[in-house]
Amino acid sequence: MIRPGQALRLIHINIVLVRHGLDEIVLATHLFRPVRFLLYLLPWHWFRRQPRPRSERIRRALEELGPIFVKFGQILSTRRDLLPDDIAEELERLQDRVPAFPGAEARRIVEQAYGTALEDAFLSFDEQPLASASIAQVHAARLRDGRDVVVKVVRPGIERAIRRDVALLYTLAGLAERYWRDGRRLRPREVVAEYEKTILDELDLLREAASASTLRRNFADSDLLYVPEVHWPLTRHDVMVMERIDGVPVSDVDGLRAQDVDLAELSERGVEIFFTQVFRDNFFHADMHPGNIFVSTQDPARPRYLAVDFGIMGSLSPADQQYLAENLLAFFNRDYRRVAELHVMSEWVPPGTPVTEFEAAIRSVCEPIFERPLKDISLGHLLLRLFQTARRFDMHVQPQLVLLEKTLLNIEGLGRQLYPELDLWKTAKPFLENWMQERLGVRALLREVRSQLPRWGEILPALPALTHDVLHQAREGSLKVEWRSTEIRQLRHEVRRANQRTVLAITGGALVISAATILALDGFTPVMLGRAPLASWVLGGLGGLVLLAAWPSDYE
């Protein structure tokens, strides 16, 4: 049920859409086209001024509606295959050019976090932000030792706005689960819960700083990715200080070409970074839109990525990681039978799903896209067709993979801008094959043995004595095997209860039958004394009925 506050928020959303003239765009869609004439009957349409371009209206509406809508616009901005160029270019402004809050307010937040004047922490602090996004904005500063840094400051009041819109999303998700045919399969409430955890984690800059440090350590010996160093003494819950980096924005393709950067190499290294994070480290940057990625041009032949903004990081369970790797590898090898079997084994589709039919459906979706450059395929369209196929087989959405799918779409969008001729499969397949070999091959076995050696060193000296004790007890007939299991204890309990119910049923039935017999004999047998037959009949009958009534009460 939509609460009054949420109803007001929905009204406000509609007012914002109307104010920016987006009612025209909504009514122009296929669904509402038959009633588009209603637009000309709306009073505000009669007095509307010359509107701004549609792309600017969409961007301004998303900015006004708040951080969740801005995040949605950021994702869309990387999908030039799904949007007209004018809208995609305008939405790029949401990556780092959201309207800033006053620099004086940023100064106040920083001083409150430190409990001291700003000048005690920095030699200089520029109140004009370098960049401003949906959750925070970044200011240039200089430490007292002369190092240049950036200071990230969380927007004031942002948590309240996020929680308000997330509560509305929960309500809409609940309505979808209840009234939408695919609601239970798509698990919208779980998806919203995953999103809520992700976006609220972004508000904790201590968590983000820890993520940055971990990612920096993972790529410390690599020339693929550079992560700036966190300055921990000045980092707080709502303020983070990091090394300032210098690079070309990854979206500035003309600037990269002017520096003679090898765009093909840059694209392939981006794919390698993604798979390294997901499979080698199981810790990946899940907000890789162009506003968060820069390129070092010191070595144009082997360009290095520079990453910022580590508020959204992802990881997978070992089981999901394994199944995902096997699925992708089978997909690259066009082994659609294996893909179908893995989906059933991992219970991503119901256990009774006919594997042969599922295999044929996957083949019809995937086969047309192989051996084609990135410019001729779209993972967005591929996922859409896979979702349509999944509906036929009651495939449930995996909320824990939503972040990964979002990141993959961002990577594809980046690759499409940088080097549309990129062969995604050729780049990714060798990496996955090597990872599977590392995970399941001889080296994996030797690594596991090496990790277990300390434990074996503790157990082996005691093993002969333990073996002697077991053999001695077996020879003497005193060896007992005790199997402790929750399931076994529960089974014993159910058997005991079943036996009790059986005894009650037999006793109750016997009493009822006895009472009936006494009633039948009453008045015909002279040996009966007084009103004993009536009393026996009443007591026996009632007692039997009580016992019979008790028998089915917990019968299953």
Q: Kindly list the domain boundaries of the chain, sorted by start residue.
A: 4-95, 103-159+199-281+291-311, 160-198, 444-476, 486-554
Q: Is the predicted pLDDT of residue 185 greater than 70, yes or no?
A: no
Q: Is the predicted pLDDT of residue 238 greater than 90, yes or no?
A: yes
DSSP per position, 212-245: HHHHHHHTTT-SSEE-PPB-GGG--SSEEEEE--
> Which of 14-18, 241-245, 327-331 has the largest mean confidence?
241-245
pLDDT of residue 527: 43
Nearest to 307 by CA among 235, 243, 254, 252: 243
Q: Indicate the SS3 state at residue 123.
A: strand
Residue 156 binned pLDDT confidence (cut-offs 50, 70, 90): very high
Q: Is the predicted pLDDT of residue 239 greater than 70, yes or no?
A: yes
Residue 522's identity, in one-letter code, is D
Q: How many Å apart are CA 60 and CA 32, to the nearest integer? A: 23
Q: Is the predicted pLDDT of residue 301 greater than 80, yes or no?
A: yes
Burial, 333: exposed, middle or buried (Cβ in 10 Å; 0-12, 13-18, 19+)?
A: middle
User: Considering only 293-302, 376-385, 430-439, which range has the smallest mean pLDDT?
Assistant: 376-385
Q: Is the predicted pLDDT of residue 109 greater than 50, yes or no?
A: yes
Nearest to 138 by CA among 385, 328, 309: 309
Q: How many Å apart are CA 410 and CA 402, to the nearest integer? A: 12
Q: Is the predicted pLDDT of residue 124 greater than 50, yes or no?
A: yes
Cα three-residue angle 547-548-552, rounded to 5 degrees: 115
pLDDT of residue 517: 54
Q: 508-535 burial, b if ≥16 CB within 10 A, otherwise e?
A: beebbebbeebbeeeeeeeeeeeeebee
- pLDDT (mean) for 470-496: 64
Q: Please give the helix or strand (H or E) that residue 517 lies within, else none.
A: helix 486-521
pTM: 0.67
Q: How many Å apart are CA 471 and CA 171, to the nearest integer? A: 64
Tell me which DSSP letter residue 412 carries. H
- Cα dihedral sign, 33-38-40-45: negative
Q: How many Å apart are CA 67 and CA 296, to the nearest integer? A: 30
> Is residue 262 among the annotated active site residues?
no
Q: Indicate the SS3 state at residue 313.
A: strand
Strand segments, DSSP code E, in 61-154 are: 122-125, 131-132, 136-143, 148-154
User: Considering only 151-160, 227-236, 546-555, which range has the smallest mean pLDDT?
Assistant: 546-555
Q: Is the predicted pLDDT of residue 26 greater than 90, yes or no?
A: no
pLDDT of residue 37: 55
522: left (phi over 0), alpha (psi -120 to 50) or beta: beta
- pLDDT (mean) for 211-225: 95
Q: 227-264 burial, b if ≥16 CB within 10 A, otherwise e?
A: bbebbeebbbebbbbbbbbebbbbbbbeebeeeebbbe
> Which of 3-12, 199-208, 240-249, 290-299 has the largest mean confidence?
240-249
> Which of 24-33, 105-114, 174-183 has the largest mean confidence?
105-114
- Measured in residues, the chain has a length of 556
Nearest to 319 by CA among 286, 346, 344, 339: 346
pLDDT of residue 278: 87
pLDDT of residue 232: 96
pLDDT of residue 471: 75
pLDDT of residue 530: 44
Residue 383 binned pLDDT confidence (cut-offs 50, 70, 90): low
Q: Is the predicted pLDDT of residue 158 greater than 60, yes or no?
A: yes
Rg of the chain over all Cα atoms, to the nearest angstrom: 34
> Which of 33-47, 365-379, 459-473 has the largest mean confidence?
459-473
Q: Please give the helix or strand (H or E) that residue 285 lies within, else none.
A: strand 284-285
Contact (Cβ atoms closer than 8 angstroms) between residue 159 and residue 172: no
Pairing of strands 225-226, 304-307: parallel
Q: Is the predicted pLDDT of residue 137 greater than 70, yes or no?
A: yes
Neighbours of 50 (CB within 10 A): 4
pLDDT of residue 23: 64
- pLDDT (mean) for 485-498: 61
pLDDT of residue 516: 54
Mean pLDDT (the chain) is: 76
pLDDT of residue 332: 77
Q: pLDDT digits over 1-25, tens only?
A: 566 766 777 777 777 777 777 766 5
Percent of the chain with pLDDT over 70: 65
Contact (Cβ atoms closer than 8 angstroms) between residue 150 and residue 139: yes
Q: Indicate the SS3 state at residue 98.
A: coil
User: Considering only 17-21, 26-30, 201-205, 261-265, which range has the smallest mean pLDDT?
Assistant: 26-30
pLDDT of residue 202: 85
Q: Is the predicted pLDDT of residue 547 greater than 60, yes or no?
A: no
Output 495 or 294, whichever has higher pLDDT.
Answer: 294
What end-to-end distance do the CA atoms of the chain give, in Å?
35
Note the CATH number of domain 103-159+199-281+291-311: 3.30.200.20
Residue 32 binned pLDDT confidence (cut-offs 50, 70, 90): low
Q: pLDDT digits over 53-64, tens only?
A: 878 888 888 888
Q: Is the predicted pLDDT of residue 199 greater than 60, yes or no?
A: yes
- pLDDT (mean) for 407-419: 76
User: Considering only 394-398, 418-422, 474-478, 528-532, which range has the smallest mean pLDDT?
Assistant: 528-532
pLDDT of residue 105: 94
Contact (Cβ atoms closer than 8 angstroms) between residue 263 and residue 257: yes
Q: Is the predicted pLDDT of residue 499 greater than 80, yes or no?
A: no
Q: How many Å apart are CA 332 and CA 159, to the nearest integer? A: 42
Catalytic entry in 287, 335, 376, 394 = 287
- pLDDT (mean) for 108-113: 95
- pLDDT (mean) for 190-199: 78
Contact (Cβ atoms closer than 8 angstroms) between residue 352 and residue 343: no
Strand segments, DSSP code E, in 442-517 are: none
pLDDT of residue 528: 44
Contact (Cβ atoms closer than 8 angstroms) between residue 402 and residue 245: no
pLDDT of residue 451: 61
